Structure 1
Amino acid sequence: MSEFGDFEFERKFLVGDMPAVAASDPSPALIAQAYLFASDGYAVRVRLQGPAPARLDVSTAELVGALGGEAIGTMTAKGPAAGGTRYEAERDLDPLVAGQIVARAEHVVLKVRSSVWLGEDGWVIDRFLGGNAPLVLAEVERDSPVVDLVIPSFCTTEVSEDDRFRNEHLAFHPFSGWAGDYRNELELLGPTFVDTLGCNHFDGT
């Protein structure tokens, strides 16, 4: 835990296509997370995470079962985000209990996470499954505010402050239902990047 306690500092970006660098992670993880409550930026989440199985085109219950004894369970309470900062208190949960909750939950997000190191920062690249496919998001997290960031070229636009791309929103409103409208919006308005967190540096420019 950082000196800031139960707070996370991250920035999130939309990715057009799965970047080649994601393949450098030899052991991507499958994440199944159920949202038991989500309102006005507050959320309670139960997560089960373990090695991604070879087959992903199966039901949520089958995916959860495939994680087996290597899975890690957590329960997290989240507060509203502001300026790339969000309250997040995470505690360990018995993976068997976490799996049973996720398997029975109505609002679940499934994704395969690849972790890569780019420059001075560790990034995660999430490829969403089910109703949120083909969404791909990239996140960078630090122990303090994410300032003066080098943004990789595969990042299309920043969505750190767009609540539609928060997992709790995706659990209740899957991306497939509004992807077309969002693409039209992005084409009309163009990409944007948060400019209140130091200087943005774009990789390759």
Structure 2
Amino acid sequence: MAQEIERKFLIRDASWRDEPASTETFRQFYLARRDGFSVRIRIIDEARAFLTMKTGNGLQRGEYEYELPLADARELERAHIGTVIEKRRHCIAHGRHVIEVDVFAGALAPLVVAEIELESAEDVVELPRWFGREITDDPAFSNVGLATNGLPEEFRT
């Protein structure tokens, strides 16, 4: 089984922008969701598309991902549930890890979240000073939660 092991954090301040980063633009939407299972399509830079199924919740989850023809992804968007997520991902090297900072746009702005993928659940990482509160186990901040429920209350104006 394919595994994704990652921790997620809110961002404390904008000092992460001082770090060198590569960027990608994502448009993603969900086709199905139930407790502990989701199916999404992600379009990257309007050039490539992936179908992803995730199982479980929290730190360690099953993840199955397959490249999809871009035209199929665009056609399937009509069947999405919830909000289509638009975000810009900034990938920042951090020791032997990569931190992915997602800056959300549209209905999910001004949310900014950092993710760091781990090799194991016991992997120890020195966190940058700009990391804020950990939200790994908060379903309100999962992408599927954001797509189906919108911004968590603390970000609503």
Q: TM-score, length-normalised on structure 1? A: 0.69
- Which of 106, 110, 117 does residue 130 from structure 1 map onto? 106
Match of 1:62 in 2: none
Root mean square deviation of aligned Cα? 2.2
How many Å separate the matches in 2 of 1:148 and 1:111? 28
Q: Secondary structure at the match of 1:164?
A: helix
How far 1:106 sits from its partner (Å)? Answer: 4.4
**Partner Cα separation in structure 1 for residue 35 and residue 79 of structure 2:** 24
**Counterpart check, 1:7 vs 2:12:** no
1:121-160 map, 5 Å: 121-145=97-121, 147-160=123-136
| Partners of 1:23 and 1:102 in 2: CA distance | 34
Paired residues of 1:32 and 1:102 also in contact (CA < 8 A): no
Distance change (3 Å), C-alpha of 1:44 and 1:150: same
Correspondence 1:33 to 2:22? no
Q: CA deviation at 1:179?
A: 2.6
Once the 2 structures are TM-superposed, how far is the Cα of residue 135 of structure 1 from its aligned partner? 0.4
Mapping for residues 1-205 of structure 1, pairs under 5 Å: 5-21=1-17, 24-25=20-21, 27-50=22-45, 67=46, 71-82=47-58, 84-102=59-77, 105-107=80-82, 108-145=84-121, 147-175=123-151, 178-180=153-155
The answer on whether the counterparts of 2:38 and 2:53 sit within 8 Å (CA) in structure 1 is yes
Change (3 A) 1:146 1:121: farther
Letter in 2 for 1:97: D
Q: Once the two structures are superposed, what CA deviation does each residue of 1:65-94 show, in whole Å capped at 9, x if it has no partner?
A: xx2xxx111111111124x11011111111
Give unpaired runs (5+ residues) of structure 2.
none
Give the Å deviation of 1:139: 0.5
Structure 1, residues 172-203: CA drift from partner, whole Å, max 9, x if none? 1111x62347xxxxxxxxxxxxxxxxxxxxxx
Unaligned runs of 5+ in 1: 51-66, 182-205
Alpha-carbon distance between aligned partners in 2 of 1:98 and 1:146, rounded to the nearest angstrom: 36
TM-aligned CA distance change 1:180 to 1:127, over 3 Å? closer
Identity of aligned residues (%): 30
Report Cα offsets for 1:133-181 as digits up to 9, x if no partner: 1000001113433521211111111001111100000001111x62347
Rg: which structure is higher? Answer: 1
Report the Cα offset of residue 96 of structure 1: 1.7
Structure 1 runs of 4+ with >6 Å offset: none
- Shift, 1:130, TM fit: 0.9
Shift of residue 21, structure 1, vs aligned partner:
3.7
Query: AA paired with 1:100?
Result: E
Distance (whole Å) between structure 1 residues aligned to residue 154 and residue 136 of structure 2: 17
Distance 2:122 2:73 in 1: 31
**What is the letter of the counterpart of residue 117 of structure 1?**
A
Q: Which amino acid aligns with 1:127?
A: V
Q: Give the distance between the partners of 1:21 and 1:180, measured in 2 at CA.
A: 21
Higher share in helix: 1
Relative to the length of structure 2, the TM-score reads: 0.88
